[in-house]
Amino acid sequence: MTKEKITSFFKLILSKLPLFIFCVVFVEGYGALFGKDNTTTAITILTALLVFLKNDLSFNPVQATICIPLLLIITNTASKVALLNPFWGIPINFISIGLILILSTHDMNKDNHVPFLLGYIFCQGYDVSGEMFKMRTISVLIGGALIAVVYFLVHHKDKYDVQVIDLFKSLNIKTDQTQWYIKLTFTLTLVMFLGSFVGFSKTMWISFAVLSMIRPKREESIHRMKFRLPATIVGSIIFFVVFQVLVPLEYRQIVVIATGFIMMFIDNYVKKTVANSFSALMAAMLLFSNKDAMLIRIIANAVGLGVVILSQLGFKKLFSKLTPTDSQVIST
């Protein structure tokens, strides 16, 4: 390795280090204030903050500013109510996820829906009650207000004629955007219902797989469907080798921090899925044995892949019937 490459390597590390330190301090501080069980809420707030420092919602900035805390409240409250009964959860999840998508993805090239659906799935996966839910709600209100202020300061000069009502008026089953909304909303709702109904402990892992693989662009969805399960298996194998062979359990926290830092440099989907699988299994070590966690992780992603394949095929057939092409219309 040349001197220039070494210098460039260390410059890259140093450029990411301040943001990484901020993220660690933010999450740890949030957990200290609102409870360790609400650390995932800190991740949601932090993700939304970082996303909206760069992205806007592509409609009226004042209305968008108001929508952000409202969507965060939905992620916290609706996700909780949906868990009370699997059947009541069907309309609650469907309406909530649909609203999140409509209000956050007017521009489908921006992944603005990710922090909200990340939070929604996290809230169901790490359910809390009593005083801890009260603290979670307070943390969401404070976090939502913080992001709204930051969003307005950064984006208040953005010029958009689009109003909130226009987002609903533009819904049309003939468009790729609306079809994506329907596919993702229906599939996530189905997975959440089945997971709640049978009492599966890691439904959120299936939900995350669905969220990852049902994308606005068909080509991207196909790419992710091809590599999701193999990357998950590789991540599981790495996890097993690290904690069964290389690293004693007492050094787990060091590995967690190191993995978080390494993930800041990963853009490739396959590599990111490997790293995400590794990280998720580290978190699951508190609940399961290493082997059980690996097995559940792989099964959850296999189920997620199967559900997504069926969803893609089913909706492709449905949409082709509901929105026939010109050639189909002429032939009839």
pLDDT tens digit string along 101-147? 999 999 998 899 999 999 999 999 999 999 999 999 999 999 999 99
Cβ-contact 64, 56 below 8 angstroms = yes
CA atoms in the 13 A half-sphere facing the CB of 143: 35
Q: CA–CA separation, 232 vs 245, rounded Å?
A: 19
The top-scoring range by mean pLDDT among 4-18, 245-259, 303-317 is 303-317
- C-alpha–C-alpha distance, residues 55 and 158, integer Å: 11
For the cut 80, the answer to whether the pLDDT of residue 330 exceeds it is: no
- Domain coordinates of the chain in residue numbers? 10-170, 201-324
pLDDT at 329 over 60: no
**pLDDT attached to residue 228:** 96
- Count CB-CB contacts under 10 A for residue 203: 22
Whether 41 contacts 30, CB under 8 Å: yes
Q: Which two tokens stand for residue 38?
A: 């609400």
The whole-number average pLDDT for the span 16-33 is: 87
31-40, 185-194, 318-327 — which one is most confidently predicted on average? 185-194
How does residue 244 score in pLDDT terms, banded at 50, 70 and 90?
A: confident
How far is Cα 308 from Cα 229, in angstroms, rounded to an integer? 12
Rounded distance between C-alpha atoms, residue 291 and residue 236, angstroms: 9
pLDDT at residue number 323: 77
* Contacting residues for 181 by C-beta, under 8 A, at least 6 apart: 98, 101, 102, 105, 171
Share of the chain above pLDDT 70, in %: 95
| C-beta pairs of 191-195 under 8 Å, 24+ apart in sequence | 191/304, 191/307, 192/82, 192/89, 192/93, 192/124, 193/86, 193/87, 193/89, 193/90, 193/93
pLDDT above 60: residue 325: no
Mean pLDDT of all residues in 30-36: 89
Confidence check: pLDDT of 1 > 60: no
Would the pLDDT of 189 be above 50?
A: yes
Q: Which two tokens stand for residue 179?
A: 């079809």
Q: What is the mean pLDDT of residues 301-311?
A: 97
Please say if the pLDDT value at position 81 is more than 90: yes
The whole model's pTM is what?
Answer: 0.91
Residue 94 has pLDDT above 80, yes or no: yes
CB atoms within 10 A of CB 266: 14
Q: State whether residue 194 is helix, strand or coil.
A: helix
Are 266 and 272 within 8 A, CB to CB? yes
